[in-house]
């Protein structure tokens, strides 16, 4: 996202503002382009946020790299970003990283698919029907109070240490926030619009597809964002506790053999997954919420 | 619904309201109110804020049920609310076709949008419309289903004076094409005189007085008869001597 910085309004003082001290202060607003564009100002504008929201992360990486090269931080604590990239490439070439990443993505994908399906179906039923609300709402509210990580031991007891536990943990993490947000979003659709739709003679199907579903979309996207974040959390938890392959295994192995590089590679990939998920939801928002007059900060 | 005599329709057209009572808690908003609207008649319901105008309109719309009495309205009716109530996530055309079915729905919506002077704006989002344009879309949405009764709840109250005058012209033009009975609720005496076939003034939960308006378009703008009518309406509203 490119941000166009709107500079402070160009204030041109009246000719006698300096001379007469008692004159009431006045402000003159001119078109933004009419101001003098000095080379200094152009440079300053360009330097302000050169990478948008990624300016801060990149700045931290640069400082980190410099500190690591200068030997201020020890290699076993925090290896330089470049050396992390190098280990990632090495691990990939050794044929370790690829399969581990694949198995992690597969777990996350299956878990998300189950969790989102259950969350969306129950959320829609709960939002649209009074009986659906009574059926699901209490249960999900109770589940929501249980921390995701606290369920893990129980799941291991119930489902063993295989894939099933991991997938279910991820779907648990994804399903609960989806239900809660979707339910609230459907119930939150403007009552006056529902009333209006009824008076036009639109049937239940029209009401659901043209009023309730689109009206609940913003809330659905919030739910999706939480679901994706919690599913990564579930993935990390499940893989770190017990796994013989996957990203979590890679990290645990790195920890055991004091391969800090390898730990960082795993962390970086987790964060990239989170970032990708966020960008995905942002893209969806741009397409699906075009109708919304959105607030744009300057 | 029980099939007693009272649920049987008695007329073929128009609106019949008989002895209708509606109360909220202890407050009796409508107190045995009677009102009849003939086919293709434009009745203006005038009254101060909070006198029960909107309550009556909601009863006619079927959005609310009476506590007593009887309301008979055509099944094909439409409402224009005070706020435009457009779906912000649908473009103008889809807002108009909300209650329409059939392959010619889009075509009919286009025609009605042209009638309200919005052809070419079918693809616009509601957020891109001005207040007057948005209210014209909601007018189109009401008319597109060819209703027998159009209920308008202070539809132009939120518009500026110039836009409101344009909307009055539009309503007059639309009446010659769409043959529907209309009930327009307002607290604006001048709006009432500009549009009405008949003006009814509400007071104490009933229709206090009724005035049939048979002035020409020019006389509605300025004439002695207009001023007399205006004075009588203000008197009915308890505002005599203040204007």
Among the partner-chain residues B63, B78, B87, the one whose CB lies closest to the CB of A195 is: B63
CA of B214 vs chain A CAs: smallest distance (Å): 32
The answer to whether the CB atoms of A291 and B126 lie below 8 A apart is yes
Task: Give the Cα separation of A9 and B38 in Å (integer).
Answer: 61
Between chain A and chain B, how many beta carbons pairs sit less than 8 Å apart?
53
The answer to whether the CB atoms of A202 and B127 lie below 8 A apart is no
Say which residues have a Cβ less than 8 Å from residue B177's Cβ, sequence separation at least 6.
B115
Among the partner-chain residues A193, A199, A201, the one whose CB lies closest to the CB of B87 is: A193
The tokens for A21 are 């001290």
CA of A84 vs chain B CAs: smallest distance (Å): 46
Tell me: pLDDT of A17 over 50: no
- SS3 call for A255: helix
On average, the pLDDT of chain A sits at 83
Mean pLDDT of A151-163: 85
Say which residues have a Cβ less than 8 Å from residue A29's Cβ, sequence separation at least 6.
A9, A10
The answer to whether the CB atoms of B87 and A292 lie below 8 A apart is no
pLDDT of residue B5: 46
Instruction: Give the tens place of pLDDT for each residue, A112-140.
Output: 999 999 999 999 999 999 999 999 999 99
Q: Output the CA–CA distances (angstroms, integers) from residue A64 to A79, A232, A272, in the order listed.
A: 9, 26, 18
The single residue listed with the structure tokens 């739709």 is: A197
pLDDT of residue A21: 65
Q: pLDDT band at residue A182, thresholds of 50, 70 and 90?
A: very high
Residue of A199, A215, A293 to mutate, interface with B, max B Cβ within 10 Å: A199
CATH 3.20.20.60 fits A79-288, yes or no: no
Q: Up-side HSE of residue B131: CA atoms within 13 Å toward CB?
A: 13
Say which residues have a Cβ less than 8 Å from residue A250's Cβ, sequence separation at least 6.
A91, A96, A97, A100, A262, A265, A266
Q: A9 vs B210, which has greater pLDDT? A: B210
The answer to whether the CB atoms of B87 and A211 lie below 8 A apart is yes
Say which residues have a Cβ less than 8 Å from residue B159's Cβ, sequence separation at least 6.
B131, B132, B135, B167
The answer to whether the CB atoms of A196 and B127 lie below 8 A apart is no
The single residue listed with the structure tokens 């957020």 is: B127
Chain B residues with CB under 8 Å of A191 CB are: none
Chain A residues with CB under 8 Å of B59 CB are: none
Which of A40-44, A227-231, B130-134, B164-168 shows the lowest mean pLDDT across its residues?
Answer: A40-44
The answer to whether the CB atoms of B127 and A291 lie below 8 A apart is yes
The answer to whether the CB atoms of B98 and A197 lie below 8 A apart is yes
pLDDT of residue B1: 44
Q: Which H, E and C letters describe chain B, residue by residue?
A: CCCCHHHCCCCCCCEEEEEEEEEECCEEEEEEEEEEECCCCEEEEECCCCCCHHHHHHHHHCCCCCCEEEEECCCCEEEECCCCCCCCCCCHHHHHCCCCCCCCHHHHHHHHHHHCCCCCCCCCCHHHCCHHHHHHHHHHHHHCCCCCEEEEECCCCCCCHHHHHHHHHHHHHHHHHCCCEEEEEECCHHHHHHHCCEEEEEECCEEEEEEECCCCHHHHHCCHHHHHHHHHHHHHCCCCCCC
Chain B residues with CB under 8 Å of A202 CB are: 98-99
pLDDT of residue A70: 87
**What are the residues of chain A with a beta carbon less than 8 Å away from any beta carbon of chain B?**
192-193, 195-202, 206, 210-211, 214-215, 217, 290-293
Among the partner-chain residues A193, A215, A292, the one whose CB lies closest to the CB of B85 is: A193
Mean pLDDT of A158-175: 88
In this structure, are strands B149-153 and B77-80 parallel, antiparallel, or unpaired? parallel
Chain A residues with CB under 8 Å of B125 CB are: 290-291
Q: At A22, which helix (H) or strand (E)?
A: none
The dihedrals phi and psi of B46, each to the nearest 5 degrees, come to -110, 145
Q: pLDDT band at residue A240, thresholds of 50, 70 and 90?
A: confident
Among the partner-chain residues A193, A199, A214, the one whose CB lies closest to the CB of B63 is: A199
Spatial contact of A174 and A109, defined as CB atoms under 8 Å apart? no
Instruction: Give the tens place of pLDDT for each residue, A253-263.
Output: 888 888 888 88
CA of B216 vs chain A CAs: smallest distance (Å): 33
CA A193 to chain centre: 30
Closest CA to B152 of B56, B240, B235, B239: B56
The answer to whether the CB atoms of B79 and A199 lie below 8 A apart is yes
CA of B215 vs chain A CAs: smallest distance (Å): 33
The single residue listed with the structure tokens 């200068």 is: A70
- Closest residue in B to A203 (Cα) is B99
Residue of B85, B108, B109, B140 to mutate, interface with A, max A Cβ within 10 Å: B85
Spell B102-111 as b/e; 16+ CB within 10 A means b: eeebeebbbe
Tell me: pLDDT of B173 over 50: yes
Spatial contact of B95 and B122, defined as CB atoms under 8 Å apart? no
Report ipTM (2 d.p.): 0.83
Among the partner-chain residues B89, B98, B125, the one whose CB lies closest to the CB of A200 is: B98
CA of B46 vs chain A CAs: smallest distance (Å): 23
Which residue ranges make up each domain of chain A? 2-47, 79-288
pTM of the model: 0.75
Among the partner-chain residues B78, B83, B87, the one whose CB lies closest to the CB of A210 is: B87
């Amino acid at each position: 996202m490119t941000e166009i910085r709107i500079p402070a309004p160009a204030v041109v003082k009246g000719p006698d503002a300096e001379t007469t001290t008692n004159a009431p202060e006045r402000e003159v607003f001119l078109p933004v382009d009419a101001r003098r564009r000095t080379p200094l100002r152009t440079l300053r504008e360009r330097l302000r946020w050169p990478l948008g929201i990624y300016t801060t992360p990149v700045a931290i990486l640069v400082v980190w790299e410099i500190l690591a090269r200068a030997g201020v931080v020890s290699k076993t604590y925090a290896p330089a970003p470049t050396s992390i990239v190098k280990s990632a490439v090495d691990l990939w070439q050794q044929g370790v990283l690829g399969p581990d990443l694949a198995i992690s993505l597969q777990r996350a994908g299956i878990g998300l698919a189950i969790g989102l399906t259950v969350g969306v179906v129950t959320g829609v039923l709960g939002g649209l029907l009074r009986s659906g609300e009574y059926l699901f709402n209490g249960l999900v509210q109770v589940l929501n109070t249980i921390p995701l990580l606290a369920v893990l031991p129980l799941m291991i007891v119930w489902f063993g240490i295989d894939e099933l536990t991991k997938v279910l943990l991820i779907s648990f993490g994804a399903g609960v926030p989806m239900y809660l947000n979707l339910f609230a979003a459907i119930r939150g659709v403007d009552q006056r619009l529902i009333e209006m739709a009824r008076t036009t003679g639109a049937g239940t199907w029209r009401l659901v597809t043209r009023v309730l579903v689109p009206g609940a979309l913003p809330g659905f996207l919030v739910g999706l964002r939480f679901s994706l974040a919690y599913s990564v959390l579930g993935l990390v938890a499940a893989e770190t506790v017990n796994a013989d392959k996957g990203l979590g295994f890679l990290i645990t192995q790195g920890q055991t053999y004091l391969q800090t590089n390898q730990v960082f590679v795993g962390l970086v990939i987790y964060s990239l997954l989170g970032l990708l998920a966020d960008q995905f939801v942002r893209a969806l928002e741009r397409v699906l919420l075009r109708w919304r007059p959105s607030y744009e900060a300057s | 619904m029980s099939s007693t005599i009272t649920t049987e329709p008695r007329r073929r057209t128009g609106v019949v309201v008989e002895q209708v009572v509606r109360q909220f808690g202890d407050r009796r908003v409508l107190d045995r109110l009677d009102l009849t609207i003939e086919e293709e008649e434009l009745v203006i319901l005038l009254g101060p804020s909070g006198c029960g105008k909107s309550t009556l309109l909601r009863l006619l719309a079927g959005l609310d049920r009476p506590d007593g009495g009887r309301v008979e309205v055509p099944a094909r009716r439409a409402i224009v609310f005070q706020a435009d109530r457009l779906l912000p996530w649908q473009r103008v055309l889809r807002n108009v076709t909300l209650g329409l079915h059939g392959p010619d729905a889009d075509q009919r919506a286009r025609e009605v949008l042209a009638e309200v002077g919005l052809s070419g704006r079918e693809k616009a989002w509601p957020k891109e419309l001005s207040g007057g344009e948005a209210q014209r879309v909601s007018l189109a949405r009401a008319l597109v289903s060819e209703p027998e009764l159009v209920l308008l709840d202070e539809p132009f109250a939120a518009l500026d004076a110039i836009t409101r005058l344009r909307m009055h012209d539009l309503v007059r033009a639309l009446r010659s094409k769409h043959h529907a009975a209309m009930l327009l609720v307002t607290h604006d005496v001048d709006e009432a005189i500009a549009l009405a076939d008949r003006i009814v003034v509400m007071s104490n939960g009933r229709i206090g007085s009724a005035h049939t308006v048979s002035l020409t378009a020019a006389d509605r703008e300025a004439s002695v008869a207009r001023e007399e009518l205006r004075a009588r309406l203000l008197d009915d509203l308890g505002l005599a001597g203040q204007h």
